[in-house]
Amino acid sequence: MFRATCIAKRATHAPPLYRLAPTSYARLTSPALLARTYATTFESPSSKLIRRARTAAKYTFFVFGSTVVGCVVLTGAIFLHDAFTYHNRNIEGVPVAPRALQPERGGPKNLPILSTLLSDWEDDENRGLAEKPHLVIVGGGWGAVGVLDKINPGDYHVTIVSPETYTTFTPLLPFRMTAAAVGTVSVRSLVEPLRKIAARLRGHLINARAVDLVMSERLLEVETISPNGLKDQHMYIPYDKLIIAVGSTSSTHGVPGLEHCFQLKTVSDAQAIRKRIIDNFEAASLPTTTPEERKRLLSFVVCGGGPTGVETAAEIYDLCQEDLMNYFPKICRKEVSIHVIQSREHILNTYSEAISRYAEDKFNRDHIDLITMARVSSIDHDKVTYTRRKPDGKVETFEIPTNFILWSTGIAMNPFTKRVSELLPNQVHKKAIEVDAHLRVKGAPLGTVYAIGDASTIETSIVSYLLELVDEADKNKDGKIDYDEWKIMVSRIKKRIPMAEEQLMKVRELFDLYDSDADNSLNLNELAVLLQEIGNKITALPATAQVASQQGKYLGKKLSKLAERRSVLEANGLTMDEGDEALAPPFRYRHLGSLAYIGNAAVFDLGRFSFMGGLAAMYAWRSVYWSEQVSMRTRALLMIDWVVRGIWGRDLSRL
């Protein structure tokens, strides 16, 4: 009975049976299908192999054919585009302003004043721009390009003043220069014409160097760079807003003989370094060269253990190991020696300790001589002299015979930066122009002169604003700051100097620590000591391309916002010069990490964690490096250079 019940229940819950349609049954029992099934089931191994080979050949032919057709179409499109680039343009009757052909003279030195440029009247759009506020950018590096990238077209009449007609735009400037120096990349892959960058804004380029500034009359004195040895001309360029982005020069540290050294700042420097390296190897490969002279010729000395010095040493090692060894006598490779002289205990000392250790271990494996805790005392044309202090305090002197010396040990003021600093009595920094958190030059007329990049440093002194801060925070006007007023003062300091935020995180602890008389308030003396200590602990921003780029983009956005809100500012009784603080927050630097190339390997210092390794890290580094290029042209050229280097090696010709 129980069994019958279970069977009945199972029958009740069983899935329904569906009868096959006659067509389905006929299809399943068709002779063709049965024959194909039989043939597949009982197919011989040789037949299976032939069938698979045919399938593979079919898809291979399809892929190959598609690739060929794609290449043909792409090539045809390129030639078609190229055909339309050849055309003749007849330019007649171009209007030119009379003042552009015969500039008026004026200023303290009675020089020509370029109030109107040759192209200002070319068309209606240029005529309209000529009536806009005149923005003059001195320099053509990372900071200047950052400004040009973020300014909206039509907001300003833009003029660039630069001794070069191109920008060397790269996130890792030292590597690109060293790579060009040893033939890893072409010099053409390093540069982008400034006129092309400025074309979006219909901007102008004056190929000249800035030499002086008349702030009272808003005149920039420039010295033109004339061809064929002609006499350089001096003239004034009027401005409404001026941005100083001239970069820096290498610091000498008082070492004599630096005229015998190479530096790594420009493309010309890279070309000179490349020529010297090839010259040294060619001379060393001659049979008449003595062993001592060969050893000196193949000795490469790098003064400075920062990113530039480390990457140069790594690139020279790669050049010798991967290319020169195959084409020059092997005795030359045996005699090559690379020396890095560093005044600190470790190379790459601004990076994390793990990265410094990794780079040092890599150099030791590559037999690159690291000389740490040493100072260069003098340089001659054929040797470098340096000193090291022994544990007992005695100083030892050493010499390295060499025919190649690279100097890369810190920065100093550009001549124009130094001149501007001399014009302003409250500029006391020895390496750069001091600016406030809005990047305005301290001491210059408000909102007219800015400085960015290596040419500037953001002020870290808070005590100079003591009385102003007390006046804002002291609500009861008793001359003291209680805790509630101290919190107000902290917010004012953070707004004025954002770099002080990290030092002001422990608000209560700081108040209690410097309340020396325990009266639950801070008097002026206690506040002065407190603010002085905080200012001393603030770390200045590094002189890197990353900082310059962020400052340039910040300034470009702010200037465009000022131009857009000009009518609003005027309605509120403010001029564009006074609108910085009203419309834009102070500059805040966001550190995105530091990278360095150390010879077929790379290191990443990303703040909270570090990443280092061999080829994988190097390709990751290249990806970041490639993505930050200024244009698709430089991206394409850079990719081609890397492919050429990988297949055919570096270019060893002496050009």
CATH code, domain with 514: 1.10.238.10
Distance CA 115, CA 100 (A): 8
Domain end, chosen from 473, 507, 539, is at 539
Across 18-27, 184-193, 281-290, 534-543, the highest mean pLDDT is recorded for 281-290
pLDDT of amino acid 165: 92
- Which element (helix H / strand E) includes 398? strand 395-401
Distance CA 484, CA 507 (A): 11
pLDDT of amino acid 575: 74
Domain end, chosen from 539, 554, 575, is at 539
Q: For the residues 147-172, what does the mean pLDDT come to?
A: 87
* Same-domain check for residues 390 and 424: no
Given pLDDT bands bounded at 50, 70 and 90, which one contains residue 26?
low
Is the pLDDT score of 30 beyond 80?
no
Q: Which tops the pLDDT comparison, 322 or 462?
A: 462
Given pLDDT bands bounded at 50, 70 and 90, which one contains residue 578?
confident
Is the pLDDT score of 119 beyond 50?
yes
pLDDT of amino acid 267: 80
Q: Which tops the pLDDT comparison, 596 or 255?
A: 255
pLDDT of amino acid 28: 54
* Same-domain check for residues 323 and 264: yes
* Same-domain check for residues 244 and 392: no
Six-digit token string for 482: 């209680």
Q: For the residues 412-438, what does the mean pLDDT come to?
A: 92
Report yes or no: 495 and 515 within 8 Å, Cβ to Cβ.
no
We report the CATH number of the domain holding residue 439 as 3.50.50.100
**Residue range of the domain that includes 472:** 461-539
Closest Cα to residue 205, out of 152, 267, 266, 140? 140
Residue 89, domain member (yes or no): no
pLDDT of amino acid 172: 45
Q: For the residues 2-16, what does the mean pLDDT come to?
A: 50
Given pLDDT bands bounded at 50, 70 and 90, which one contains residue 549?
very high
Residue 578, domain member (yes or no): yes
Residues 297-349: tens digit of each pLDDT: 999 999 999 888 898 898 888 888 877 778 888 888 889 999 999 999 999 88
What is the b/e burial string over 164-185, where b = at least 16 CB atoms within 10 angstroms of the residue's CB?
bebbbbbbbbbbbbbbbbbbbb
Residue 166, domain member (yes or no): yes
Residue 7, domain member (yes or no): no
Residue 479, domain member (yes or no): yes
* Same-domain check for residues 223 and 159: yes
List 599's β-bridge partners, or say none.
none
Q: For the residues 235-248, what does the mean pLDDT come to?
A: 96
* Same-domain check for residues 572 and 534: no
* Same-domain check for residues 442 and 428: yes
Is the pLDDT score of 617 beyond 60?
yes
- Give the three-class secondary structure for 615: helix
Domain count, the chain: 4
% of the chain at pLDDT higher than 90 = 43
What is the b/e burial string over 256-265, where b = at least 16 CB atoms within 10 angstroms of the residue's CB?
ebbebbbbbb
Six-digit token string for 387: 């000193």
Give the distance between the most distant pair of CA atoms in the chain. Answer: 125
Residue 448, domain member (yes or no): yes
